[in-house]
A and B are shown apart, each in its own frame.
Chain A
Amino acid sequence: QQQVKQSPQSLIVQKGGISIINCAYENTAFDYFPWYQQFPGKGPALLIAIRPDVSEKKEGRFTISFNKSAKQFSLHIMDSQPGDSATYFCAASRNTDKLIFGTGTRLQVFP
């Protein structure tokens, strides 16, 4: 119940395309869903986060879509750029508990 399942494991997208990464969870008590971005040789960094009181959050080219009934949330990267090539982690937590990370998606954007 504590797991966050992330897919796909890797993703190749052409420049200008849409990258979509999906995550699913079981614990209905989760109330915070962040996405972290990690470049090679660096630590992960917070990209965008959402709480279940909204179904979508957009920051620039990055959008989180949240489906509470399906217990799923996804990251959409519009107009993907080579600079977006990184590993992306979804995560989930309850207010008083630790973050549970997904296993990561390696995104490669080719020119």
Chain B
Amino acid sequence: DAGVIQSPRHEVTEMGQEVTLRCKPISGHDYLFWYRQTMMRGLELLIYFNNNVPIDDSGMPEDRFSAKMPNASFSTLKIQPSEPRDSAVYFCASSANRITGELFFGEGSRLTVL
């Protein structure tokens, strides 16, 4: 299996621009998670889906962030408009069957907002 695939790996943009991060989970996994990693706050859960349905978005920082999962093999995390404080590494992860099952992370998307 190819694992969780994220794109782009690196994104540099200017403040105010829209950013879209993409994720393809492992086939057959029912849960998909979006995390943000920073030095100060570590790994923060932004949102997670179960069977393509958003279950908990309490970690989404504000209305500038949105996430969708139109089908079982694709999810997006969008930031509009982006701000310098959004600079971080964004990880997508998936797991099979259980929310507390082993999480399989992608390699992350490093976002820099100038």
Contact = CB atoms under 8 A, between A and B. Distances in A.
Contacts of B108: 41-43
How many residues of A sit at the interface, in one of the four size bands? 20 to 34
Interface in A44-103: 44-46, 49, 89, 93-103
Interface in B31-66: 33, 41-45, 48, 56
A46 B93 contact: no
B103 A97 contact: no
B43 to A, nearest CB: 4
Contact of A103 (B41, B104, B106, B107): B41
Nearest to B102: A46
A95 B4 CA distance: 23
Q: Which residue, A41, A99, A100, A101, has most C-beta atoms of chain B within 10 A?
A: A99
Contact of B45 (A32, A42, A99, A104): A99
10 contacts: A34-B102, A43-B4, A43-B105, A43-B108, A89-B43, A97-B99, A98-B48, A98-B99, A99-B99, A103-B42
Interface of A: 32, 34, 36, 41-46, 49, 89, 93-104
- 4 nearest A-B residue pairs (beta carbon): A43-B105, A103-B42, A101-B43, A46-B102
